[in-house]
Homo-oligomer: A and B are copies of this chain.
Amino acid sequence: MPKNPPSSQSFPRPFTAVDVVIFTVIDDQLHVLLVKRPSGSGEPYPGRWALPGGYVDIERDKDLQACALHKLKEKTGVVSPYLEQLGSWGSASRDPRGWTATHVYFAMLPHTAVKPAPGSQPGEMGWFQVVDDGVGQKLAFDHDTILASAIARLRGKAEYTSLPAYLLPDTFTLSELQHVFAVVLGRPVDKSGFRTRVLSAGLVEEADGVRTGQSRPAQLYRLKMPQQPTFFPRTFNPRKD
């Protein structure tokens, strides 16, 4: 640790940034929000897609989470999403402008909650389908690595927590919940086992009303404790491959 001459701390400091990996489900597929890098001179990775984020503003942002929430609201209009820390990436080489550390957050939204950002150009921002461990193209900075890490975290936690539930609106049917797990996991989920798993864990409670459609109406439910995900006592464990 560099010794600090009293009251100075004048040694060089890295840049501090915050990025947000924002997941949603569109047309039964997992998607992630990306923004296009500006193409001004001196800008790194001009025109490339990147995770939404930017430098911490020490005047505006009182802490890292506030900074992440600000960026999320700026891009999606969403004010109270599910948000957790993913990790941080910092090195001398990841940004040509200098030693930079970014604090990465991880958000999950129902697509219905997203309002297109006012004053932003179409084409500057977009939802990209998640395929395997990325979006099928190289991103700016080390954002491929970060995105892959976020996808792995989401899929991993879907095996033993209720995390994918945050991709749904406030009320939903158990079939919809089952379906969003299947979308995240990339494989079918058994109906009967899933229902007892969810109900006996106390994850949800009945909401008023039913979802009507082409067949038997389905009971609506809501999360009993929306603040934090529920842990199941076992992972999924399908017999066949």
Interface with B: A6-14, A110-118, A124-132, A171-179, which one?
Answer: A6-14
Do the beta carbons of B2 and A54 come within 8 Å of each other?
Answer: yes
How many residues does chain A have at the interface if contact means C-beta atoms less than 8 Å apart? 46
Distance (whole angstroms) from the CB of A157 to the closest CB of chain B: 12
A-B contact sample (11 more), CB < 8 A, given A4-B42, A13-B15: A1-B53, A1-B57, A4-B97, A6-B42, A6-B43, A58-B92, A58-B99, A63-B91, A64-B88, A64-B91, A87-B88
CA distance A101 to B89 in the complex (A): 13
- Residues of B contacting A53 in the complex (Cβ-Cβ under 8 angstroms): 1
CA distance A57 to B235 in the complex (A): 42
Distance (whole angstroms) from the CB of A186 to the closest CB of chain B: 18
Q: List A76-126 residues whose CB lies under 8 Å from chain B.
A: 85, 87-93, 97-99, 101, 103
